[in-house]
Structure 1
């Protein structure tokens, strides 16, 4: 199905939200989980934002009662995007710098290409795309190479790297699945339903892992609450809704370009706000990943 035409100004605003706001959420997550339990933090964020969006969608003129099939889509997409995609990244940021997590998430277009070929029957990856994939995985190796040190710290960071890469795969799978699955016409309602399902699953996961034990919200601190609030308003209500809307109004390859803008924003914020280190090897790895995503997405645009 071809994307629906949309006003240029609205497209620019939606891309700006996905580019800039999502890039800043890695820093907000770092502040929030400094004192908040990761799954409960993420789950409460999405349940609140999802409830607001669902009510807004219910009040819109294009509202139609969601079908069982649409709720099934919301459950699957919510699980893949918000539990697998976001939840694993939140968990990983307990040991990884926010900038490194964002750079690793840039591997998502690799999985989009491979899943689109295997799952949707799209064209076999061209030589240019294969080169982009190899360059990207080389960049990932350079990024994590300095984490291959022995000792508990190195092993915990390697675990974090694995969680982020798995989360990127899960996000790509959820995005691909949602392209053809039944969903409401309203992107606001669709986003709300996905957040309610994914947020509820995250709260269940937080409960199962014992995050409620000894929980004292009064000890979270101002910075954590501000980070959580930023994630609710700008990460969920604004940017996630913009992303869902863009998937219906712009080519998926073009939407995927956020993957090489977000890391730049996250790296600059992590360096400026948290004094996160950037080595020459990490910069080379980051450049390789960004270059690979450019190769992949520009090829997809030509084919589209």
Structure 2
């Protein structure tokens, strides 16, 4: 039997792997999916199916039904993270933003998270400030590349998605969410319903893909991208500092860019390669306080 400390460490390692690697691959999978699916329809089905599966699983394990207050809180988080956040990324890729570049742009999430955290009285350490600043330099370099200039609307939508995701992440720590994975289930059900409503109101065709690849994409996004990775993210939000939980936004671009080049024929310029190197360096600075280096006095007091 693993000791409690080793079990916690093992869960943290697994959760970070899910965020860094599995979530990084979803950008390419979404890019493939929007070639067969209307974007909001695909995103909505993804989260509704995943949410219902998790909801049934939790009820079967004896979890209590969410209260009305918990449904409202979970719905608010689901709207910000999934309807606006993930839905925005899906739409941006449908509008022509490359999967790797979309992942690079989402690296603004920790910057927004830090700003919203300050609003709620969460000061950052000097190393976190340095990491966020370096990440911002990476974003500036990214915008010098051709990919972001190809779809200005997509670029703006990506930034909106990042801000929505960050705000929802910080706010979720103060809301009366259901316990455990039931919170993810509620968020995905509500977020998915809002995306399907958006699909109908925007006039998307109610068309299903004829190819098997379209259905494989949906299955991958439901099982790994939603149930596994999103649950890992919600777990980290409860157990690590917000800046560390959102540090996946620095690592996902590396995975997404490499997969996009290898399997989708995507290309990025010199500025974007440099931006990726800068962003990868930034994640190390953001994570150092979580690993025990350079913690602020406030952070130490919070963990005492």
TM range (shorter): 0.7 to 0.9
Quick check: 1:197 aligned with 2:187? no
- Give the CA deviation at 1:111: 0.7
Work out the CA distance in 2 between the residues paired with 1:260 and 1:131: 14
Counterpart for residue 77 of structure 1? 77
Quick check: 1:217 aligned with 2:208? yes
Quick check: 1:49 aligned with 2:50? yes
- Give the CA deviation at 1:126: 5.8
Unmatched 5+ stretches in structure 2: 300-304
Work out the CA distance in 2 between the residues paired with 1:252 and 1:135: 17
Question: Which of 256, 280, 284 does residue 290 from structure 1 map onto?
Answer: 280
Quick check: 1:169 aligned with 2:163? yes
Q: Which stretch shows the higher mean deviation, 22-31 or 256-265?
A: 256-265
Work out the CA distance in 1 between the residues paired with 2:167 and 2:256: 23
Counterpart for residue 158 of structure 1? 152
Work out the CA distance in 2 between the residues paired with 1:195 and 1:161: 25
Question: Which of 253, 256, 267 does residue 257 from structure 2 map onto?
Answer: 267
Alpha-carbon distance change, 87 to 166 in structure 1, aligned in 2, over 3 angstroms: same
Alpha-carbon distance change, 218 to 160 in structure 1, aligned in 2, over 3 angstroms: closer
Q: What does residue range 1-304 of structure 1 map to in structure 2 within 5 Å? A: 7-61=8-62, 63-94=63-94, 95-118=96-119, 120-123=120-123, 125=124, 128-147=127-146, 154=149, 157-185=151-179, 187-212=180-205, 215-219=206-210, 221-299=211-289, 302-303=295-296, 304=299
- Give the CA deviation at 1:290: 2.8
Question: Residue deviations 1:213-238, cap 9 Å, x none?
Answer: xx43254x222221121101110111
Partner of 1:20, secondary structure, is helix
Work out the CA distance in 2 between the residues paired with 1:173 and 1:276: 31
Partner of 1:217, secondary structure, is coil
Question: Residue deviations 1:239-292, cap 9 Å, x none?
Answer: 111211222233333322322221111111111101211222111112223333
- Give the CA deviation at 1:129: 4.5
Work out the CA distance in 1 between the residues paired with 2:12 and 2:203: 42
Number of equivalences: 289
- Is the Cα–Cα contact under 8 Å of residues 254 and 276 in structure 2 kept in the other structure? no
Tell me how large the CA RMSD over aligned residues is. Answer: 2.1
Work out the CA distance in 2 between the residues paired with 1:136 and 1:17: 22
Question: Residue deviations 1:135-178, cap 9 Å, x none?
Answer: 323322221223389xxxx4x51211111111111101111011
- Is the Cα–Cα contact under 8 Å of residues 148 and 158 in structure 1 kept in the other structure? no
- Is the Cα–Cα contact under 8 Å of residues 209 and 215 in structure 2 kept in the other structure? no
Work out the CA distance in 1 between the residues paired with 2:139 and 2:98: 15
Work out the CA distance in 1 between the residues paired with 2:175 and 2:22: 27
Work out the CA distance in 2 between the residues paired with 1:134 and 1:245: 26
Counterpart for residue 302 of structure 2? none
Alpha-carbon distance change, 111 to 300 in structure 1, aligned in 2, over 3 angstroms: farther
- Is the Cα–Cα contact under 8 Å of residues 256 and 297 in structure 1 kept in the other structure? no
Work out the CA distance in 2 between the residues paired with 1:251 and 1:146: 32
Work out the CA distance in 2 between the residues paired with 1:128 and 1:216: 49
User: Normalization by structure 1: what TM-score?
Assistant: 0.88
Question: Residue deviations 1:19-58, cap 9 Å, x none?
Answer: 2110110011011101210001000110000000011111
- Is the Cα–Cα contact under 8 Å of residues 74 and 178 in structure 2 kept in the other structure? no
Partner of 1:34, secondary structure, is coil
